[in-house]
Amino acid sequence: MAAPIVSMTNVEKWYGSNHVVKNCNLNIEEGEFLTLLGPSGCGKTTTLRMISGFELPTSGLVKVEGENVEKKEPYERSVNTVFQNYALFPNMNVFDNIAYGLKVKKAPKAEIKERVTTMLRLVQLEGFERRRITQMSGGQKQRVAIARALINKPKVLLLDEPLGALDMKLRKQMQIELKRLQKKLEITFVYVTHDQEEALTMSDRIAVMSAGVVEQIGTPKEIYLKPRTRFVANFIGESDLFDGIITGEKDGVLSIGTEVGTVEGLAANTTIGTVKVNDPVSICVRPEHMKISTEKPEGFSIQAVVKDKIFVGNLIKEIAVINNGNEIKINSINAADLPDPGTNVYLTWDLKDAVVIPETSEITLDTAEKLKEVI
């Protein structure tokens, strides 16, 4: 197997007493689209800047193309960066902005013209070469910034929330264009965003970050359907989470006691790591997998009362309150499937659609003890 084009090993970053990135271990494969996803302040941009060379790690090792880049300046690394604010020169036209890097390297004029023309065609801006930057729309400016970054033929393109300043419709259009561009060029894209839908749409893999820690790395499908932590389950899409305690395990099948009843039959291999009786866990069910009925189904179910029924265009969202006061989300594309507010209902799900998440911090010992008393 080929070595990763970018690797980070035990990387830490401190700003004074602020621990921004914690023991980051990340391998990025050549030609993949990897997204660093997380809320503001989680360390994703700092991680990107340590790859680019705009920041140096406090400790740990960053390699690009197998080479330690600690002592290399940003311009000496085979990476280029596209910023959210574009960082274009307003006093230059489109051609000169894109050509800037080649002119600094004193490339021949004929080569500059040829490569700029190729870039303009690639980002669909032919005919705009003499246009002033101040006359360009947000989407056009972003294309210019991408062309300027690509003209130096980097092995890795780093993109720091590049679509953040665009309106929603243009963002979605640019998502498709960026993915098309990445596939056509077959180079590595490392993309930073806080937008979950953007990450799921564009990425080959996603690294989800929280408070400086990479919580999970996987394909969009893995991240969504098999979250490894409570944070990932909550941050990627919507989740219904039920706190519980493992009350039994036999032949790889778990019994989990919760405040709303005991759930039997969950496979132990749906968990991450080793679990045992009395361990605190969470059961995660996505709202689209939650089943709702006015009649009690066979097997496990939860009694609830419908609180809200909300139309959001492509689906109907319903919120039901269970007996411990928690609100449960149910999504359906068919309004007829969902009872009206005030209706007494039963909630359940297929065992295959539930994920068991071992808890190491988010359920405190106090909560675990209270659950033991209830169940």
Q: Mean pLDDT per 10-residue run, the chain (375 residues)?
A: 91 96 96 96 96 96 95 92 86 92 89 92 90 88 90 93 82 88 92 94 96 96 92 93 89 85 76 74 93 91 93 88 91 82 94 85 56 62
Query: Which stretches of 267-309 are DSSP H helices?
Result: none
Query: In the prediction, which pLDDT does 374 show?
Result: 57
Provide φ and ψ at 104, rounded to 5°.
-60, -35
Element counts in the chain: helices (H) and strands (E): 9, 20
CB distance 69 to 266 below 8 Å? no
Query: In the prediction, which pLDDT does 173 show?
Result: 86
Tokens of 75: 């311009």
* Count, residues in the chain: 375
| Complete domains list, the chain, with CATH | 6-230 (3.40.50.300), 239-374 (2.40.50.140)
Strands 253-258 and 240-250: antiparallel
DSSP, collapsed to helix, strand or coil, labels residue 374 as: helix
Q: Within a 10 A sphere around the Cβ of 33, how many other Cβ atoms?
A: 22
Reduced 3-state DSSP string for 348-367: ECCHHHEEEEECCCCCCHHH
Query: In the prediction, which pLDDT does 231 show?
Result: 93
Query: In the prediction, which pLDDT does 363 show?
Result: 53
* Angstrom distance (rounded) from CA 223 to CA 205: 9
Predicted TM-score of the model (pTM): 0.89
Query: In the prediction, which pLDDT does 364 show?
Result: 45
* Of 80, 104, 93, residue with least CA distance to 144: 93
Place of tokens 């489109």: 94
* Of 190, 244, 242, residue with least CA distance to 29: 190
* Angstrom distance (rounded) from CA 342 to CA 339: 9
287-to-83, 216, 227, 345 alpha-carbon distances in Å: 35, 21, 14, 15
CB distance 209 to 37 below 8 Å? yes
CB distance 50 to 56 below 8 Å? yes
Between vectors from CA 255 to CA 253 and to CA 256, what angle results, nearest 5°? 130
DSSP state of 247: E
* Angstrom distance (rounded) from CA 236 to CA 115: 40
H/E element, 6 = strand 6-15
DSSP state of 133: G
Tokens of 70: 């600690």
